[in-house]
Amino acid sequence: MLKFFNKYNFSFNYDLGSKTWFGTGGKCLCYITSDSESVIRITLKYLKKIFPVFIIGAGSNLIVRDGGINGIVIKLGKAFSKITLYKKKSILEIGGSAKDYQISKFCLENNITGFEFLSGIPGTLGGNLKMNAGCYGQEICDNFLECVVINSKGKKVLKKKDDISFGYRSSTLGDDIVISAKFRVIYDKKKKINDKIKTIIKDRKKSQPFGVRTGGSTFSNPKNNSAWKLIDAIKYRGKTSGGAKVSEYHSNFLLNSNSATSLDLELLGEDIRTKVWDKYKIKLEWEIVRIGKHKKI
């Protein structure tokens, strides 16, 4: 087992918080960026019996709690970021670690529509599928056909679209690690695709915080309502708590505005949830994933 760790350069007592967009949180017991399926499979098959195992993508919608994680964290490496277009079959295959802007750019260059919305999301393909990412009337599941995953037991499995249930910001992929996925290809004029991407980027810059430490949308939109409208209704736009702040540009975004801790961010989020429930009896659900344990005082 020691040879296994040495061969693949596992990092111990790693500052996992630095891998998130918020830049907050504690350390993990062991961290690896893996370009090998076998490493992932061995880790899940054997090491998961001893330690909890987590997978992270871009870290854009993640809070690592200040007490860190007594477990192993895997990040898919560049080997899993390949994007391939099979023109004869009109199929697009995308690696699990491919970044959203890379996918959007590739599709633009190849006149493929249906992925323009990814230019407005800071994530990776694997994370997109697991949470069924979407915006501007599009979702990642729209043209999805199948994906290859490594399940929690370390087994490589092919899952068709009918094997997975997709909902609003959710899927039944659970703990599966998405290695790659295939999508149906729909072509359109490059100018039309490019115009849509430009509009999305322009709208995003107008309405969302840039150049600051933030995450993705904090809460999922409740049915027939918008999270930001509810947060505005309780007058929390610009609200601060410790080093955490509700964005003044878009109130469904939290900011690390002044050396915030993960606890600052989570407490502010929970305060919002409590106030919205007390006033409107609407339960806001976290869209940002929170992992790890709280730091002992």
Query: Which run of H or E residues covers position 181?
Result: strand 177-184
Question: Which residue segment(s) compose the domain that 114 sits in?
Answer: 81-206
Write down which residue in 189, 206, 223 finishes a domain.
Answer: 206
For Cα atoms 73, 79, 83, give the angle at the middle one, nearest 5 degrees.
120
**Number of domains, the chain:** 3
pTM listed for this prediction:
0.90
- The answer to the question of residue 297 being in a domain is no
Please write the tens of the pLDDT for every residue from 59-102: 999 999 999 999 999 999 999 999 999 999 999 999 999 999 99
- The answer to the question of residue 151 being in a domain is yes
- The answer to the question of residue 98 being in a domain is yes
CATH number at residue 230: 3.90.78.10
Q: Mark whether 89 and 73 lie in a shared domain.
A: no
How far is CA 19 from each of CA 16, 68, 85, 129, 197, rounded to the nearest angstrom?
5, 13, 30, 20, 27
Residues involved in catalysis: 169, 217, 287
Q: How far apart are CA 61 and CA 67, in angstroms?
A: 18
As to burial, measured by CB atoms within 10 angstroms (0-12 exposed, 13-18 middle, 19+ buried), residue 183 is buried
- The answer to the question of residue 166 being in a domain is yes
Instruction: Enter the tokens of residue 137.
Output: 């009337």
CATH number at residue 42: 3.30.43.10
DSSP letter, residue 134: E
- The answer to the question of residue 144 being in a domain is yes
Beta strands 69-76 and 28-34: pairing type? parallel
Write down which residue in 185, 206, 227 finishes a domain.
Answer: 206
- The answer to the question of residue 34 being in a domain is yes
Q: Mark whether 212 and 201 lie in a shared domain.
A: no
Q: Mark whether 85 and 73 lie in a shared domain.
A: no
Q: Mark whether 59 and 167 lie in a shared domain.
A: no
| Residue owning tokens 């290859």 | 148
Q: Mark whether 93 and 182 lie in a shared domain.
A: yes
Write down which residue in 172, 206, 240 finishes a domain.
Answer: 206
Q: Mark whether 237 and 189 lie in a shared domain.
A: no
For Cα atoms 127, 176, 53, give the angle at the middle one, nearest 5 degrees.
95
Secondary structure class of 90 (helix, strand, coil):
coil
Q: Mark whether 285 and 248 lie in a shared domain.
A: yes
pLDDT at 5 exceeding the cut of 80: no
CATH number at residue 151: 3.30.465.10
Please write the tens of the pLDDT for every residue from 142-198: 999 999 999 999 999 999 999 999 999 899 999 999 999 999 999 999 999 999 999
Instruction: Enter the tokens of residue 82.
Output: 């390949």
pLDDT confidence of residue 210: 80
Q: Mark whether 85 and 183 lie in a shared domain.
A: yes
Of 266, 274, 236, 264, which is closest to residue 252 (Cα–Cα)?
A: 236
Q: Mark whether 179 and 88 lie in a shared domain.
A: yes
- The answer to the question of residue 72 being in a domain is yes
Q: Mark whether 186 and 287 lie in a shared domain.
A: no
Q: How far apart are CA 274 and CA 162, in angstroms?
A: 37
Q: Mark whether 182 and 272 lie in a shared domain.
A: no
- The answer to the question of residue 228 being in a domain is yes
Please write the tens of the pLDDT for every residue from 26-45: 999 999 999 999 999 999 99
Give the number of C-alpha atoms closer than 13 A to the C-alpha of residue 244, restricted to the C-beta side. 24
Q: Mark whether 198 and 100 lie in a shared domain.
A: yes
User: Span 252-276, mean pLDDT?
Assistant: 97
